[in-house]
C-alpha cells in the first residue's frame, strides 16, 4: 500500500496535470457514478490527506479516491499509449486538452460535496505532510491507548496520517523499540513524532524511499523486507512476523538485538 510520501508525490503530479483546466473527458466506471458527467468543469486542485486523494472540481464537488493495495493513477499525454493495465481494470478517466489521467483498480472512488470531505477523511489524525500537522495532537493520539503495541499505534491512521508498514518498521528500528512494545512504555515518545515527520519530509520528493545514511540501492532501508539478513547496525539476523488483528495484519520486520522484546513475548517472537 502506498505510504503518505508516495501519495503526496502522486497528488502533486495529478495537480500539475489537471488543475486549472476544464475537463474535456469524464468517465467514471463504478456503478454509483456511471451516469455522472464532469465534462466542462474545471479541476481546482488535487489534495492529499494521509493516504487519501481529494480531487476538487468546480461546482463544489470532490472526487475521493484511495489506492489501498492495488490501485493506481496514471498520467498520459493525448497521443500516449495507456500502460496501466487492461481496460476492464479502469475505474476512472479524467481528461483535459493537455493530459489524461486514468485510475486503475481503484477500490475507493466516490463523488461528494467538497463541504462534506470530513465524512471520508475527518477521522484521520494530523497529516505528517499536511498543513494541519500538529505534533502535540499526534503525540496525544499515539499514546491514547498506552497498552497498544507501538507498531499498531504507528500504523493507525487515526493517530498519524501517512505512516505505512515500511515506515512503521523503520521507525521502530530507529527508535530501538520493539514493534510489540506498549506505546505508553516508549522512552521519549516525542522523538517518534519528530522522526516520523523528518522521514516523510525527506522522502516526499524521492522516487525511492531512503531511511539509512546510504543512497545505495541495496542499502536504502534498515530492516523492512530484510528477514533473515544481517542487521546493518549489529549483524544480528532480522526477524519477521505478522502484527495486527486479522484481516489487517502486516508483516513486520525487526532486529531482536537492537530492538529488545517487551517483558511479555509476542506470538511472532520466534519467527524466522
Residue 86 annotated as catalytic: no
71 SS3 class: coil
3, 91, 182, 209: the active-site residue: 3
25, 41, 148, 250: the active-site residue: 250
2, 149, 182, 189: the active-site residue: 2
Residue 3 annotated as catalytic: yes
Q: What are the DSSP calls for 165-211, one per residue? A: HHHHHHHHHHTT--TTSBGGG-SSHHHHHHHHHHHHHHHTT-SS---
Distances (CA, A) of 189 to 59, 244, 258, 260: 44, 21, 17, 17
Helix, strand, coil proportions of the chain in percent (round to 5)?
25, 25, 50
51, 56, 168, 209: the active-site residue: 51
Read off the C-alpha cell for 146.
498506552
Buried b (16+ CB within 10 A) or exposed e, 194-203: ebbbebbeeb
Residue 182 annotated as catalytic: no
Read off the C-alpha cell for 125.
489524525
Looking at residue 161, the DSSP 8-state letter turns out to be: B
Q: Is the peptide bond before 98 cis (omega within 30 degrees of 0)?
A: no
Residue 91 annotated as catalytic: no
Asked whether the beta carbons of 17 and 98 are under 8 A apart, the reply is yes
What positions carry a catalytic annotation? 2-3, 51, 250
Amino acid at each position: 500500500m502506498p505510504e503518505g510520501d508516495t501519495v503526496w508525490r502522486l497528488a502533486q503530479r495529478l495537480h500539475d496535470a489537471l488543475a486549472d483546466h476544464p475537463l474535456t473527458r469524464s468517465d467514471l466506471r463504478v456503478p454509483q457514478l456511471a451516469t455522472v458527467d464532469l465534462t466542462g468543469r474545471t479541476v481546482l486542485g488535487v489534495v492529499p490527506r494521509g493516504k487519501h486523494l481529494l480531487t476538487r472540481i468546480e461546482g463544489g464537488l470532490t472526487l475521493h479516491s484511495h489506492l489501498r493495495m492495488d490501485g493506481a493513477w496514471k498520467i498520459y499525454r493525448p497521443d500516449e499509449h495507456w500502460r496501466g493495465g487492461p481496460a476492464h481494470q479502469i475505474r476512472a478517466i479524467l481528461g483535459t486538452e493537455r493530459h489524461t489521467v486514468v485510475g486503475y483498480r481503484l477500490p475507493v472512488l466516490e463523488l461528494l460535496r467538497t463541504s462534506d470531505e470530513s465524512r471520508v477523511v475527518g477521522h484521520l489524525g494530523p497529516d505528517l505532510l499536511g498543513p494541519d500537522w500538529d505534533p502535540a495532537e499526534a503525540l496525544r493520539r499515539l499514546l491514547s491507548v498506552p497498552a497498544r503495541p507501538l507498531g499498531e499505534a504507528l500504523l493507525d491512521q487515526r493517530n498519524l496520517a501517512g505512516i505505512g508498514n515500511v515506515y512503521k518498521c523503520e521507525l521502530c528500528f530507529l527508535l530501538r523499540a520493539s514493534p510489540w512494545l506498549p506505546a505508553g512504555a516508549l522512552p521519549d515518545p516525542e522523538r517518534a513524532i519528530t522522526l516520523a515527520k523528518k522521514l516523510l519530509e525527506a522522502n516526499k520528493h524521492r522516487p525511492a524511499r531512503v531511511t539509512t545514511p546510504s543512497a545505495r540501492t541495496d542499502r536504502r532501508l534498515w530492516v523492512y523486507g530484510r528477514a533473515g539478513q544481517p542487521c546493518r547496525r549489529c549483524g544480528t539476523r532480522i526477524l519477521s512476523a505478522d502484527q495486527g488483528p486479522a484481516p489487517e495484519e502486516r508483516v513486520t520486520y525487526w532486529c531482536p538485538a537492537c530492538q529488545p522484546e517487551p517483558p511479555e513475548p509476542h506470538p511472532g517472537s520466534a519467527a524466522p
